Amino acid sequence: MKLILLGPPGGGKGTQAKFLVYKYSIPQISTGDMLRANVRDQTALGIEAQNFMNEGRLVPDEVILGMMDSRLQKEDCKNGYILDGFPRTIPQAEGLDKLLDKIGHKLNYAIVLDVEQEAIVNRLSSRRSCRGCGRVYNLIFDPPEKENKCGSCDDELYQREDDKTETIKNRLKIYNEQTAPLIEFYSAKNLTQHVDASGDIHQVKANLITALI
Ligand code: AP5
> So what's the pLDDT on residue 213?
82
Q: If you measure from the C-alpha of residue 196 to the centroid of ligand 1, how many angstroms do you get, rounded to a whole number?
A: 17
Which of 5, 13, 45 has the most ligand 1 atoms within 8 A of CB, as the residue to mutate? 13
pLDDT at 118: 85
- Angle of helix 61-71 relative to helix 44-54, nearest 10 degrees, comes to 130
Q: Tell me what pLDDT residue 117 has.
A: 86
pLDDT for the residue numbered 112:
98
Is 123 considered catalytic here? Answer: no
3-state secondary structure at position 162 = helix
Number of domains in the chain: 1
68: in domain: no
- pLDDT value at 57 more than 90: yes
Residue 85 is assigned to a structural domain of this protein: yes
Atom of ligand 1 at shortest distance to CA of 174? 25
Instruction: Give percent helix, percent strand, percent coil of the chain, each to the nearest 5.
Output: 50, 15, 35
Q: Report if residue 133 sits inside a domain.
A: yes
Residue 62 placed within a domain: no
pLDDT per residue as tens digits for the range 59-84: 999 999 999 999 999 999 999 999 99
The catalytic residue among 18, 57, 160, 164 is 160
Percent of the chain surpassing pLDDT 70:
100
Q: Whole-angstrom Cα distance, residue 208 to residue 13?
A: 11
pTM for the predicted model, two decimal places:
0.96
Please check whether residue 134 lies inside any domain of the structure: yes
Instruction: State mean pLDDT over 101-126.
Output: 95
Q: Does the beta carbon of 45 lie inside 6 Å of ligand 1?
A: no
The predicted-structure confidence for 112-121, as pLDDT tens digits, reads as follows 999 998 899 9
What is the percent of the chain with per-residue pLDDT over 90, rounded to a whole number? 97
The answer to whether residue 37 is domain-embedded is no
Tens digit of each residue's pLDDT (9 = 90 or more) over 6-51: 999 999 999 999 999 999 999 999 999 999 999 999 999 999 999 9
